[in-house]
């Protein structure tokens, strides 16, 4: 009787393992079909102390899902992990953050800055994330700087 039970359990386990292998998508198929797991963010300063400069940031669900923006020159504010604007006295030390969500959306949050933030001429409420369009530039005003954010999925090499 025990042998019969063991044989049934073995067959059930083999059936489950076989169906799990069929159901598991490969990584390449997941990357093609799902939301982006990483984004390249190009930030061009069109007004302020950094006018004419372009910065490249990297958002990655695996290694860097948040980019910090502010006047701080700490490690997490260094490009490509974040954006440091130390020459702009109107930018708060910890002013804002960009966050890549599991759904592939990018959220911009003013983290209770002193002078506030506007995106496309709309004032942000502190600590209320705003979803940014990935297919159109977003103009962010923080401190005395106007920054144009554009997004691209990095090409795999």
For residue range 17-62, what is the model confidence (pLDDT) as tens digits? 766 554 444 444 444 557 889 999 999 999 999 999 999 999 999 9
* CATH code, domain with 57: 2.60.200.20
Q: Quick one: pLDDT at residue 24? A: 45
Over range 82-105, report the average pLDDT.
96
Residue 78 lies in a domain: yes
Domain of residue 66: give its range: 38-152
Q: Quick one: pLDDT at residue 1? A: 73
Phi/psi region, residue 143 (left: phi>0; alpha: psi -120 to 50; beta: rest), is left
Please, which residues have CB within 8 angstroms of residue 150's CB and are 6 or more apart in sequence?
41, 42, 44, 137
Q: Quick one: pLDDT at residue 21? A: 54
Residue 53 lies in a domain: yes
Q: Quick one: pLDDT at residue 23? A: 46
Number of domains in the chain: 1
Helix/strand/coil for 148: strand
Residue 141 lies in a domain: yes
Q: Share the mean pLDDT of the chain.
A: 88
Burial class (CB in 10 A: 0-12, 13-18, 19+), 140: buried
Q: What does pTM read for this prediction?
A: 0.76
Backbone angles phi, psi at 123, to 5 degrees: -70, 135
Residue 12 lies in a domain: no
55-80 per-position pLDDT tens digit: 999 999 999 999 999 999 999 999 99
């Amino acid at each position: 009787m025990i042998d019969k039970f063991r044989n049934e359990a073995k067959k059930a386990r083999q059936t489950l393992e076989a169906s799990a292998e069929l159901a598991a998508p490969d990584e390449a198929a997941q990357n093609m079909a799902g939301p982006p797991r990483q984004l390249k963010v190009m930030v061009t300063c069109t007004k302020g102390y950094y006018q004419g400069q372009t910065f490249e940031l990297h958002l990655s669900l695996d290694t860097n899902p948040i980019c910090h923006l502010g006047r701080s020159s700490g490690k997490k504010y260094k490009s490509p992990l974040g954006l440091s604007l130390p020459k702009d006295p109107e930018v708060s030390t910890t002013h804002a953050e960009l966050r890549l969500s599991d759904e592939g959306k990018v959220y911009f949050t003013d983290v209770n800055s002193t002078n506030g933030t506007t995106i496309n001429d709309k004032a942000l409420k502190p600590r209320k994330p705003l979803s940014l369009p990935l297919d159109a530039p977003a103009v962010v005003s923080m401190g005395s700087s106007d920054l144009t954010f554009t997004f691209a999925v990095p090409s795999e090499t």
